[in-house]
Structure 1
Amino acid sequence: MTGTTATDAGTTAGTTLPPEAAAANAAAGAAGGGLDPYALIHGAFRWQVPERLSIAELCCGRWARETPEAPAILFDSDSDCRAQYSFGQLQRAANRLSNALKRLGVQAGDRVALVLPQRFETAAAHIALNQLGAVAMPLSMLFGPDALEYRLKDSEASVAIVEAGALEAVRGVRGQCPALRHVLVVGAAAPGEGESGWMAALQAEDARFTARDNAADDPAVLIYTSGTTGAPKGALIPQRALLGNLTGFIASQNWFGFDPNNPTARSEAVFWTPADWAWTGGLMDGLLPSLCFGRPILGYQGRFAPEKALELMARYRVTHTFLFPTALKAMMKACPHPRERHALHLQAIMSAGEAVGDAVFDWVGRELGVTVNEMFGQTEINYVVGNCARLWPARPGSMGRAYPGHRVAVIDDEGRVCPPGQVGEVAVHRRDVHGDLDPIFFLGYWRNEAATAAKFTGDPMDSWCRTGDLARADADGYLWYEGRSDDQFKVAGYRIGPGEIENCLVKHEAVANAAVVPKPDAERGALVKAFVVLAPGRQPSAALTSELQAFVRERLAPYEYPKEIEFLDSLPMTTTGKLQRRVLRQLEADRAAGRST
């Protein structure tokens, strides 16, 4: 929306439909959908990013002043513990936590680890840290000791806020993390040395706090991505990146319920996603955007199960959601006709992580009553491509079109835009179609200037940011995914970096070398497969396979352990000694296709 500032109450940086697009949308409806308003929407949108910007203010502060009793966090768990928290309660808890963290010496720019699930304290921690100007570093509850230790050491996190279920894992690596001086424990666990309990810490503090005046370019979140080789990289996300996410968020949620000029929809909208709030998908695609628009989000602390997901959506009258394709597939198989058993109120479903596919796409439309809006993005540049069924037609199997405010193209190795139909690398330009800087971009990789520079092609402030994903564009600007240009792959919605798993395997005394690749799988899209070269004197066996799987599962995340291990005498290498994973990937692809190898 032209002329809207990022801090206007109820609106954020052009997140309402532009007048030109609204007219086009009305015309499209009158014409029976014959008119595509996409070009008008994309062309009319202009970024309006102020110099001073605070995620805490956008997501909580303004709502705590204007609608303090409005629900912010709805909570449910597999133990049937349920609660509801208002924006006023969220702000007071965040203020107390800001004071407690300040007392512990946390300052602007300090990294604070959050090893927390979907719960009220997680949201309060993000608001509190942002008010201090500190950097939140969300970590999955599923991380094992190796994964935790690397991230805590590399980031030099000074404090960790840890749910009781992950406390022993953090305690086990704390001795190797010299910068970690204090642990704040959430839940029923007795604090040890250098630790304190959440409730006691907050009860000792004032519920008032004067928030720091953050700049739009100040860092807000540090999220580690998995590297294709070697160690994971920490992507440093600025305050302004939330604004960059919002056009994609409201488009993928069909604008319903997220239009500030529609108070009826606002009172009805409820968001939920099973995506972990420790990942970009849960945090930047769910928690923060929902709060930014003053809408409640459901936090569920428990394992995903198809029937439970449908039960939750019915109980809390969930209107908007983000569901991975694997979750939708599981729901389709477990409950083919969900509306026969559950009173659902869905208005929009966004899906990302892999292709939804025709079968799931059709099932969702037929059985859930909405069209899936597929989306594409990365931690570094999130929510840049996708669909909006309300405003432009989804094409099953397509990644969609560039969301308003983002200039996206398929480019070749020299950085030239490819013609329609030619496969190249998906890239996002620093500047939009009007020449304005796009706020979506990350600040860089934590202490890794070389990796940051390699991500861009051209002048740093007038360049393409390469995603590493291959695609082709059609004549209408829809993108069609063609795979990764590197060795990362996705399993059940999680991005897998083979280097971390390979490094873990090699730590086992029986392993001399290892390579990890995706194995095609009809259910999940891919499984983690490891090719292992054994150390001298060791022999392959079923027992050793189980031992290696357990070894990885205990040290990394459960979704990272290899579901299948194949023992080889040697791995394919280049003449310079580099591992050729593509040879093994092709081997698995040939096997899956029934081709002789």
Structure 2
Amino acid sequence: MTDILTHSGAAPAETAPADANLAARLEQLAREKGWLERTAYLQGTHRYSYGEVYDRVRRTAGALRALGVGRGERVLLALPDSVTFVVTFLAVLRIGAVAVPVNTFFHADELRSSEEIAEASIVVSDAALREEFRGRTVTPRDLTEADDDSAGAPEPVPSDAPAFAVFTSGTTGAPRLCFHDHGDARHFDRAIGGVLSLRQGEVSYSVSRMYFAYGLGNSVLLPLQRGASAVLTPERADETIALSVLQRHGVSVLYAQPSFYARLLAHPDAQVLGRLRLALVAGETLPRPLEDRLRRILGPRLLNICGTSEIGHAVLANGPDEIHPYSLGRILPPYRVRVVDDAEVPVPAGEVGRLQIAGPTIGPGVRRGSLPPHRLAPDEWFTTGDSARLDEDGLVWLFGRVDDIEIVAGANVHPTEVEDLITGIAGIREAAVVAVRRPGGVTSLRAYVVTEPGTGRPAALAKAVRATAEAALTSYKVPEDVEFVDALPRNSTGKILRRVLRGWNTEDKVVPDGTD
């Protein structure tokens, strides 16, 4: 039974070299492969070659050393997606310090909270944000004074030394810092990198920002190991900006979240998506109606993937060579997957339980930057917090977060099952359902719905929601009422904040199931 319930692509562990500095390895790789003259990044109208990027990395590393930043110290990066971010990130790694990117769109209080959690010895920040921090802060301009001679050799570190840390999204509580090692990028390249098969010179673009593990891998760790190029846009991308980037730079690989793809499809220029070689979707559950719409344009070029900040990047992928609609596909080597019950005992194939992953890059996270980075051994299981099913043939099916499950009539309801039906109704773009305690003490579901622009007659749509649910679902899964909202509450990664939905008191705004 264990062979059926646990699926693996694991290989024997590699011997770690004594000097495995990731920044140095990436530069050496570019030299050996002859990439120094190739374009590494496109930003605005400028093209930055691999050689130009690594020259700037060496100078910036020298400046950080001159400021006294040493091995193992945490360096908070409050920089937008840009070549400056990439250069500073790699420079921190080059001197053996630990880079900690932070969301530059945070409120001032959140920026200071991130600074406190990271316990960084120094903050590298854009001038516009510099005053928001309390500790020692420098701007990228302050780091441009050193010349090549002051850079010095890369700090020799083993592959299991911490290189960077990313904040969890805070969906289920206070943010934690998940540490990743200098050797982790090799595993990311073997896993999702092997599926992507980025080509030398191929252009990619990530809507997800580099302060997320997903975006950091998309724009730095994956392309720089393959000789590919990446487009960087310092401003937060909307659908118009993204589609313009795809057209202007001939992007062939796009990374984004499901909710962003939904907005792209509503844009007049959505047909541009058909030119992509691959469109990756991650960050939240992909609604089935949205997957259907995307596959009509992209076919097998739509790649549904799944990973976490704790793991570092994607470990499950549906496609492109083998497509299983609505699933997350199979586990990627060198990771393993299983589904367990509440006691962490593997459940029989086909039963729903909690998703667990084992592999060489997992850091569950710590509350403070000064704490020793917590890492799991490759054979230890990490519980992702997702509700899932593992079939006998190794396919994984996701049903959302375990703590998103609603209890109605004493039974578990997976919101995505209901939401997929609702978003399949013409005129509805997004939906979320939560349990509501009614005045009489009975609990039932409420649907929060975002309509497509120009859609009218909400009462008629409310009737359609109930009729569609009644025709396909058990009665307790049918929403009792519908509320139409301008937008669903989401965190910075795009995930729906169900705890916010549960806290909304909107009885007077609910659209009844009736006629106009």
Decide which of 78, 81, 88 is 1:118's aligned counterpart: 81
Residue matched to 2:401:
484
Distance 2:172 2:92 in 1: 32
**Partner amino acid for 2:88?**
A
Question: Are the counterparts in 2 of residues 412 and 425 from structure 1 also a CA contact under 8 Å?
Answer: yes
Matched, 1:154 2:117: yes
Residue matched to 1:206:
148
Secondary structure of the structure 1 residue equivalent to 2:383 = strand
Matched, 1:405 2:338: no
Residue matched to 1:463:
380
Distance 1:428 1:346 in 2: 30
Matched, 1:283 2:216: yes
Matched, 1:304 2:233: no
Distance 2:364 2:494 in 1: 31
Matched, 1:99 2:62: yes
Query: Which deviations, in whole Å up to 9, do the C-alpha atoms of 1:371-403 show, x marking residues without a partner?
Result: 311111111113353325343x22222122111
Query: Which deviations, in whole Å up to 9, do the C-alpha atoms of 1:142-189 show, x marking residues without a partner?
Result: 11122111221222211111123433xxx1341xxxxx32x2224xxx
Residue matched to 1:357:
287
Distance 2:112 2:350 in 1: 45
Residue matched to 2:268:
335
Query: Which deviations, in whole Å up to 9, do the C-alpha atoms of 1:33-65 show, x marking residues without a partner?
Result: xxxxxxxx9758555352342221333343146
Query: Which deviations, in whole Å up to 9, do the C-alpha atoms of 1:206-234 show, x marking residues without a partner?
Result: 36531011211101112121446653211
Secondary structure of the structure 2 residue equivalent to 1:469 = strand
Query: Which deviations, in whole Å up to 9, do the C-alpha atoms of 1:4-53 show, x marking residues without a partner?
Result: xxxxxxxxxxxxxxxxxxxxxxxxxxxxxxxxxxxxx9758555352342
Could you tell me how far 1:276 is from its partner in structure 2? 0.7
Matched, 1:172 2:115: no
Secondary structure of the structure 2 residue equivalent to 1:399 = coil
Could you tell me how far 1:321 is from its partner in structure 2? 1.9
Note closer, same or farther for the CA distance 1:246–1:213 as it changes in structure 2 (3 Å cut). Answer: same
Matched, 1:51 2:17: yes
Normalised TM-score (structure 2):
0.73
Question: Are the counterparts in 2 of residues 351 and 375 from structure 1 also a CA contact under 8 Å?
Answer: yes
Question: Are the counterparts in 1 of residues 8 and 336 from structure 2 also a CA contact under 8 Å?
Answer: no
Runs of at least 5 residues in structure 1 that lack an aligned partner in the other structure: 1-40, 77-81, 175-179, 187-196, 258-264, 430-437, 490-519, 532-556, 565-579
Q: Which range is displaced more, 344-353 or 142-151? A: 344-353
Matched, 1:221 2:157: no
Could you tell me how far 1:101 is from its partner in structure 2? 0.5
**Partner amino acid for 1:315?**
R
Query: Which deviations, in whole Å up to 9, do the C-alpha atoms of 1:214-266 show, x marking residues without a partner?
Result: 2111011121214466532111211122222223322442x3x3xxxxxxx42
Matched residue count: 432
Residue matched to 1:508:
none
Question: Are the counterparts in 2 of residues 240 and 439 from structure 1 also a CA contact under 8 Å?
Answer: no
Residue matched to 1:21:
none
Residue matched to 2:276:
346
Could you tell me how far 1:97 is from its partner in structure 2? 0.7
Residue matched to 2:463:
none
Decide which of 311, 315, 320 is 2:248's aligned counterpart: 315
Calculate the aligned-residue CA RMSD, in Å. 4.0
Question: Are the counterparts in 1 of residues 255 and 281 from structure 2 also a CA contact under 8 Å?
Answer: yes
Residue matched to 1:380:
310
**Partner amino acid for 1:172?**
E
**Partner amino acid for 2:236?**
R
Note closer, same or farther for the CA distance 1:412–1:488 as it changes in structure 2 (3 Å cut). Answer: closer
**Partner amino acid for 2:36?**
P
Note closer, same or farther for the CA distance 1:61–1:334 as it changes in structure 2 (3 Å cut). Answer: same
Distance 1:428 1:245 in 2: 14
Residue matched to 1:516:
none
Match runs of 1:118-267 below 5 Å? 118-167=81-130, 171-174=131-134, 180-181=135-136, 183-186=137-140, 197-198=141-142, 201-206=143-148, 208-227=151-170, 231-253=174-196, 255=197, 257=198, 265-267=199-201
Secondary structure of the structure 2 residue equivalent to 1:150 = helix
Question: Are the counterparts in 1 of residues 300 and 320 from structure 2 also a CA contact under 8 Å?
Answer: no
Distance 1:345 1:43 in 2: 32
Could you tell me how far 1:527 is from its partner in structure 2? 10
Question: Are the counterparts in 1 of residues 75 and 99 from structure 2 also a CA contact under 8 Å?
Answer: yes
Secondary structure of the structure 2 residue equivalent to 1:463 = coil
Question: Are the counterparts in 1 of residues 108 and 132 from structure 2 also a CA contact under 8 Å?
Answer: yes
**Partner amino acid for 2:399?**
E
Note closer, same or farther for the CA distance 1:487–1:45 as it changes in structure 2 (3 Å cut). Answer: same
Question: Percent identity over the alignment?
Answer: 25
Note closer, same or farther for the CA distance 1:229–1:324 as it changes in structure 2 (3 Å cut). Answer: closer
Secondary structure of the structure 2 residue equivalent to 1:96 = helix
Matched, 1:416 2:345: yes
Distance 1:585 1:480 in 2: 29
Note closer, same or farther for the CA distance 1:159–1:418 as it changes in structure 2 (3 Å cut). Answer: same
Distance 1:150 1:583 in 2: 24
**Partner amino acid for 2:234?**
Q
Secondary structure of the structure 2 residue equivalent to 1:334 = coil
Question: Are the counterparts in 2 of residues 252 and 373 from structure 1 also a CA contact under 8 Å?
Answer: no
**Partner amino acid for 1:280?**
A
Note closer, same or farther for the CA distance 1:466–1:119 as it changes in structure 2 (3 Å cut). Answer: same
**Partner amino acid for 1:111?**
R
Distance 1:114 1:140 in 2: 9
Query: Which deviations, in whole Å up to 9, do the C-alpha atoms of 1:334-381 show, x marking residues without a partner?
Result: 137514xx8x64211111112323333333333346531111111111
Question: Are the counterparts in 1 of residues 356 and 383 from structure 2 also a CA contact under 8 Å?
Answer: yes
**Partner amino acid for 1:483?**
G
Residue matched to 1:548:
none
Note closer, same or farther for the CA distance 1:450–1:137 as it changes in structure 2 (3 Å cut). Answer: closer
Note closer, same or farther for the CA distance 1:527–1:87 as it changes in structure 2 (3 Å cut). Answer: farther
Secondary structure of the structure 2 residue equivalent to 1:409 = strand
**Partner amino acid for 1:97?**
T
Question: Are the counterparts in 2 of residues 113 and 160 from structure 1 also a CA contact under 8 Å?
Answer: yes
Match runs of 1:55-70 below 5 Å? 55-64=22-31, 66-70=34-38
Residue matched to 1:544:
none
Could you tell me how far 1:113 is from its partner in structure 2? 0.8
Distance 2:263 2:378 in 1: 43
Distance 1:377 1:229 in 2: 16
Note closer, same or farther for the CA distance 1:312–1:172 as it changes in structure 2 (3 Å cut). Answer: closer
Note closer, same or farther for the CA distance 1:583–1:67 as it changes in structure 2 (3 Å cut). Answer: closer
Secondary structure of the structure 2 residue equivalent to 1:387 = strand
Residue matched to 2:324:
395
Question: Are the counterparts in 2 of residues 56 and 131 from structure 1 also a CA contact under 8 Å?
Answer: yes
Residue matched to 1:442:
363
Question: Are the counterparts in 2 of residues 423 and 472 from structure 1 also a CA contact under 8 Å?
Answer: yes
Distance 1:89 1:132 in 2: 19
Distance 1:561 1:405 in 2: 28
Normalised TM-score (structure 1):
0.64
Decide which of 43, 49, 52 is 1:75's aligned counterpart: 43
Residue matched to 1:294:
227
**Partner amino acid for 2:341?**
D
**Partner amino acid for 2:343?**
E
Distance 2:436 2:27 in 1: 45
